Amino acid sequence: MSESSPLPPVRLTTEAELARDALATPLLSRAARLARWAGPDTRVGAGGELVEEQLPGAADALGLTGDDAAATASEAWRVAVDTGLVEIVDEEEGTVAAGADLALLTSGAPRDVLGVWLTALETVLADASVPDLDDLVDAMDGGGEIDFSSLDWDPEAEAEFLDGVLGNLYLLTVSEGGAGESPVPLPALAASMIVPDDMGEPTNDVLEQVSDAMMRLDDQFRLLEPVGLVDFQPVDETLMADTDEESSAAADDADVSRYGMVRLTPLGLYGLRARLLESGLSAPAVGDLADKGADALLDGTAAFPPTAAQAETEQWLARREPLPAARELLAAARGGDAGAPLRRLHCQQALSLVGLEAEPALREVLDDAELGGLARVWLSEHGAADVPPPSEAMIFWLTIDTIAAQLAAEGNSAELQGLVEGLAQQHGGFFAAAWRVDHPATPDVLEAMGRLHPDKKVAKEARKAAFKARSQQGG
């Protein structure tokens, strides 16, 4: 995930719903139960861990049985300590008491509950970057010390790898046309971290790296599911025993689910966004702009995908009366700066969501050089009577403004190329008049038309017009 490109906005459920989800996660609910179970006779070791003889009692309190019961109880206890649900009273004696944060789970605000859950998430993420216990045992020397060099384990690199995977999963989830709520195959997620973007056919060495990464992720997502970050379907264990199976990276569509599937939960989206914000990245959420001014709305949604931009605008409009909202949008759309055409395009799109109650605001700007054209379009589309026809100068100005906005929004798209071809075909003298248009973007628009038009003669006309426009503007 690039740190320079803006992330698409995420749609989050309400904090109340997220807090309920957090309380229902297996790991946090177990940690809370152990915090309430702990009493004067509970004892912990030097690191805050439950002493071994008390693990069966903790497992019993959680209703756990089987070989993993003690380990599961131990993990829940550590989360209880790390999140402040349990406090160490006397380190020498190893006594504990309920922590101050335990009450937050029942009487705190949703944000308080989510704060506790985020701390639990950090604990689990740290655990997920640690080597398997069997590997640690194998790496012990005769004196009981761990020889970390024999593990081929770099803690910082492991944490960065997991952060990168989770970042890619977040991006796939929030991107328009991405995975959305659908699960992502584990091989694809592993490949996103291993296979270079410019590599055509992966080499055998790269495929082996993808396979190894996939198995690491299988272990890590098994740890992350109980904290509520992901819904996870593990790798089919029969594949691990069958050495004749093809590499996971080469699995066909019918079999891909056997290699593991993962998706972020709504709580997981919230958690990863919080971590992205904490790291200094911009990670917008739909609704962030609802209480801000129209200028922030039009500028902020400039980089949003269309569906997210409409959702953000709908939330913004829902908090305002139509007529004042329309006036505020129109005022924010004015300007001769480079971002102004795109603001006006977003203003026009926002006004399309407003009913006839906004008509007076549109009529007020009919004589405005920058807004008169879009006002006429809006009034005509809404069937308003007595809409004055635009002057030729206004038509040309609006055309330049529209193309400038499309260039800013989409670049040299096929749709824009079609628009350029249509304009040149319908108006034989378009370029002879267009270079005179008093719009800051006129030279750039005409240059773009020269690049986009497939007819060499027309393209040359556009470039000549662009030169005249730049000269006229003193460029």
Q: Is the pLDDT of residue 244 over 60?
A: no
Residue 241 has pLDDT above 70, yes or no: no
Task: For residues 306-325, give the mean pLDDT.
Answer: 95
| 81 compared with 211, residue with greater pLDDT | 81
The whole-angstrom distance between residue 254's C-alpha and the CA centroid of its chain comes to 29
Cα separations (Å) of 355 from 70, 119, 290? 63, 46, 19
248 pLDDT higher than 70: no
Q: Is 385 helix (H, G, I), strand (E, B) or coil?
A: coil
Please say if the pLDDT value at position 66 is more than 70: yes
- For the chain, give the mean pLDDT: 88
Classify burial at 37, counting beta carbons within 10 Å of its beta carbon; exposed 0-12, middle 13-18, buried 19 or more. middle
pLDDT of 143: 57
- C-alpha atoms less than 13 angstroms from C-alpha of 111 in its C-beta half-sphere: 1
Query: In the chain, count of helices (H) and strands (E)?
Result: 23, 5
Q: Are 76 and 31 in contact (CB under 8 A)?
A: yes
pLDDT one-digit tens code per residue, 260-289: 999 999 999 999 999 999 999 989 999 999
Q: What would the pLDDT profile of 128-177 be if each residue is shown by its tens digit?
A: 988 665 554 454 555 556 555 655 667 788 889 999 999 999 999 998 87
C-alpha 34/C-alpha 120 separation (Å) is: 14
* Out of 81-85, 331-335, 371-375, 461-465, least confident range: 461-465
Residue with the larger pLDDT of the pair 422 and 63 = 63
- Is the pLDDT confidence value at 50 over 50? yes
Strand spans (E) along 382-465: none
Buried b vs exposed e over 426-452: b needs ≥16 C-beta within 10 Å? eeeebbeebbebebbbbbbbbbbbbeb
pLDDT tens-digit map of 176-192: 877 678 899 999 999 98
Residue 417: how many CA atoms within 13 Å on its side-chain side?
Answer: 9
Q: What mean pLDDT is predicted for residues 291-302? A: 94
Read off the pLDDT band of 218 (50, 70, 90).
very high
Amino acid identity, position 291? D
Q: Taking residues 24-34, report their average pLDDT.
A: 97
Q: Quick one: pLDDT at residue 238?
A: 79
Contact between residue 224 and residue 264 where contact means Cβ atoms under 8 Å apart? no
pLDDT at position 3 over 70:
no
Pairwise CA distance, residues 462 & 475, whole Å? 17
When pLDDT is averaged across residues 375-391 and rounded to a whole number, the result is 94
pLDDT of residue 97 exceeding 60, the answer is yes
Amino acid at 66: G
Assess whether pLDDT exceeds 90 at residue 71. yes
> What separation in angstroms does the CA of 456 have from each of 78, 416, 420, 462, 467?
71, 17, 13, 10, 17
Task: Tell me which H or E stretch contains 374.
Answer: helix 372-381
* Residue 388 tokens, joined: 């004055």
Distance CA 390, CA 377 (A): 10
pLDDT at res. 61: 95
For residue 72, the SS3 value is: helix
> pTM higher than 0.85 for the full model?
no
Lowest mean pLDDT among 18-22, 69-73, 173-177, 320-324: 173-177
Residues 104 and 109: their CA atoms lie apart, in Å, by 7
Residue 372: C-alpha distances to residues 23, 311, 352, 378 (Å):
54, 26, 16, 10
Whole-angstrom distance, CA of residue 96 vs CA of residue 124: 22
Which residue, 331, 286, 327, 290, is CA-closest to 309? 286
* Mean pLDDT along residues 448-459: 88
- Indicate the SS3 state at residue 285: strand
**3 state SS of 108:** coil
- What integer is the mean pLDDT of 438-458? 90
pLDDT of residue 240: 64
Confidence bin at 246 (pLDDT 50/70/90): very low
Angle subtended at Cα 443 by Cα 392 and Cα 351, rounded to the nearest 5 degrees = 55
Check pLDDT > 60 for residue 1. no
- CA gap 397, 78 in Å, rounded: 66
The one-letter amino acid code at 229 reads L
User: 3-state DSSP call for residue 324?
Assistant: helix
Give the integer Cα–Cα distance in Å for 449 and 437: 15
Q: What is the pLDDT of residue 153?
A: 61
Q: What is the mean pLDDT of residues 87-96?
A: 92
